[in-house]
Amino acid sequence: MTLRDLLDKWYHPKRAEQEELRNRIRELQELSRLALEIENQQIYKNLQSESNELFMKYLTYIFFDGLRFIVPHLFLLAVITSKIKFINLPVNLPGLGNEISIVLVYPVVAIMIHMLYKRFRNKKMQLSNA
């Protein structure tokens, strides 16, 4: 098991259940569409009710997955801000001045690193497929 698999398991422990829920919701939506075509309101209402319950469960799983992703970033940001509060710039920016809080810089840097990682990973996959 690679580090990537371990991180994926940590960040998305309920991925299999999410996939099952997503597939079941699709099935219920298709059945709801068929119930509308045959004009059976009671079946449609029951299917929609079950679909809504499953969708709320699916959203709960996604919410907790999101928390697992954000909490390490918040911890890292707390550690960084305990050492560095501001970054001094050589120029004055309108509205910000020449000091920028690390709280503003960290998300920008984290997003850029994530985008570079995805780009590098995609190029690596393209080279391995060629």
What are 33's two structure tokens?
């569409």
For residue 130, what pLDDT is reported?
A: 59
Terminal Cα distance for the chain, rounded:
25
For residue 48, what pLDDT is reported?
A: 93
**pLDDT tens per residue, range 45-87:** 999 999 999 999 999 988 988 888 888 888 999 998 898 888 8
Q: Chain-wide mean pLDDT for the chain?
A: 86
Q: Name the residue with higher pLDDT: 118 or 52.
A: 52
Give the model's confidence band at 32: pLDDT under 50 very low, under 70 low, under 90 confident, else very high. Answer: very high
> Which pTM does this prediction carry?
0.63
Residues 24 and 52: beta-carbon distance below 8 Å = no
Pairwise CA distance, residues 15 & 94, whole Å = 44
Tell me which residue of 55, 56, 53, 31 sits closest to 44, measured CA to CA. 31
What are 37's two structure tokens?
């075509």
